[in-house]
Structure 1
Amino acid sequence: MGIFEMGSRILLLEDDALFGETLVDFLESEGYEVRHFLASKPAIEEIYDHDGYDLYLLDVNVPDIDGFELLKQLRSSGDTTPAIYITSAREKSALAEGFHSGADDYMKKPIDLDELLLRIEAQLRRNRRPSKVRIDERYTFDLERRVLYDGGETLKLPKKLAELLGLLLQNRGEVVPTEEILHELYGEEHPGTGVLRVYVAKLKQLFGKEAISNIRGVGYAFTK
């Protein structure tokens, strides 16, 4: 069964392998898709490489960088995905740091699984917005999560390619200036128009040459 038919996607960061497996089994039995990571570096690489998670469950004391710092990095990059900390820390200072780092909720171990489920559902309801755009009879794109669906199956696009597709679809039928695209994707220091042409070519391979119009010297438009 593909992600499209299943529930939301959750990234779990928990260095206790046995406890992590317990959480994965429980959440998957409730219909969620869960990816479990034991350390921060592979978790953050997964997030940057494959956007599209609906919620983060984060332990704090984990290898590489702690959960507080990980979430700070995500928030500073513009990631607004809801996050719940699960930690054994009980000091008020830790609670404050958790929320200051950008957390949406905080649970102290040992946790009640039914309570965790309620908290997850509350966060997802609060953040869920209808955002799916049908491209054609085959493809659907989730503008919020930057996820492309081929029927019911997920196609994992590279992060920048997904961002470009989202930008063009948000302005469907209108020309988006090249400089605006580069600024949205890379900020002030961008790699130039060559890489943009490569991304546009990849989108045309997916949706057909007629899907994207190139207005020479101006920009691009998604016209399908």
Structure 2
Amino acid sequence: MKILLAEDEHDMSAALAAILAHSGYEVDAVYDGQAAVEKAQSNVYDCFILDVMMPKLSGVDALKYLRDSGDITPAIMLTAKAEIDDRITGLDAGADDYLTKPFAMGELLARIRSMTRRNDSYTPAKLSVSSVELDIEEQELSCKNTIRLSSKETKLMKFFMLNEGKKLPTEIIFAHVWKDDKEVDESIVWVYISYLREKMAAIGANIKIEGNKGQEFLLAVK
């Protein structure tokens, strides 16, 4: 599970990153809001941890920018302030949770676990990229016409649409879509991408999945 940590106090960042890594998380640490936006736009994360007060771009402004661009990754805001208005501003920008410094590390870990367990609740029932729409509940992909998808095809298409324009390594796709399946290996990713390509062609989709077997893949508009 991968976390983006944006905290401008280097000692605090190093301490948080060390504890998160010890708890089994992979951590990308950045020290300003602009760097957080750039990282989030090019990588896949399971959770954002954003300090409110950062140089170049505040955590609130960084999250608002990401939310406006369609990123729904669960986000926890950190602040040294306890004022209600500060919390409201962060929540209005799209934060899912809030912690006031100083906080117990156990509480942060518990909140991360809680959010990532219910990650599906952050996903809209319908996703769209260009003229293609995915109805997650009905498992239908539509453009010029509509086609049914299997459960795994729906999960895979959802993952691509939530990460449009990002280069997704085979191992990352496998970890997110097949994380609970113990009887398959990474070769299954290529099989299902082939299925999706056939179904996207069948509905006249104006998007495509770029990439070759065992490498990185990317969902792009034609």
Category of TM-score, reference length = shorter chain: 0.5 to 0.7
After superposition, what is the alpha-carbon deviation per residue over 1:87-135, rounded to whole angstroms, capped at 9, x for unaligned? 1011111011011000000000001000110011000011058x9959x
Cα distance in 2 for partners of 1:78, 1:169 equals 26
Cα distance in 1 for partners of 2:32, 2:98 equals 19
What amino acid is aligned across from residue 118 of structure 2 in structure 1?
R
Instruction: Give the unaligned 5+ runs of structure 2.
Output: 122-135, 137-150, 176-191, 216-220
Tell me if the contact between 1:133 and 1:143 (Cα under 8 Å) persists in the aligned partners.
no
Cα distance in 1 for partners of 2:193, 2:174 equals 22
Aligned to 1:22: 15
Aligned to 2:170: 149
The partner residue of 1:90 within 82, 93, 96 is 82
Aligned to 1:4: none
Aligned to 2:204: 177
The partner residue of 1:39 within 32, 43, 55 is 32
Cα distance in 1 for partners of 2:45, 2:65 equals 16
Cα distance in 1 for partners of 2:91, 2:84 equals 11
Aligned to 1:122: 114
TM-superposed CA distance for 1:177, in Å, is: 2.5
Matched, 1:65 2:91: no
Cα distance in 2 for partners of 1:170, 1:118 equals 36
Tell me if the contact between 2:51 and 2:78 (Cα under 8 Å) persists in the aligned partners.
yes
The partner residue of 1:12 within 5, 29, 32 is 5
Tell me if the contact between 2:36 and 2:62 (Cα under 8 Å) persists in the aligned partners.
no
* TM-score in terms of structure 1 length: 0.63
After superposition, what is the alpha-carbon deviation per residue over 1:151-195, rounded to whole angstroms, capped at 9, x for unaligned? 9999xxxxxxxxxxx9986575342425x32xxxxxxxxxxxxxx
Q: Percent identity?
A: 30
What amino acid is aligned across from residue 204 of structure 2 in structure 1?
P
Cα distance in 2 for partners of 1:24, 1:42 equals 16
Q: 1:173 aligns to what SS in structure 2? A: helix
Instruction: Give the unaligned 5+ runs of structure 1.
Output: 1-7, 135-140, 155-165, 182-195, 209-218
Q: 2:52 aligns to what SS in structure 1? A: coil
| Compared CA separation, residues 11 and 142, structure 1 to 2 (3 A) | farther
What amino acid is aligned across from residue 97 of structure 1 in structure 2?
T
Cα distance in 1 for partners of 2:78, 2:33 equals 14
TM-superposed CA distance for 1:149, in Å, is: 2.2
Cα distance in 2 for partners of 1:81, 1:122 equals 14
* TM-score in terms of structure 2 length: 0.63
| Compared CA separation, residues 70 and 169, structure 1 to 2 (3 A) | farther
Tell me if the contact between 1:142 and 1:148 (Cα under 8 Å) persists in the aligned partners.
no
What is the root-mean-square deviation of aligned Cα atoms in Å? Answer: 3.5
Tell me if the contact between 2:170 and 2:214 (Cα under 8 Å) persists in the aligned partners.
no
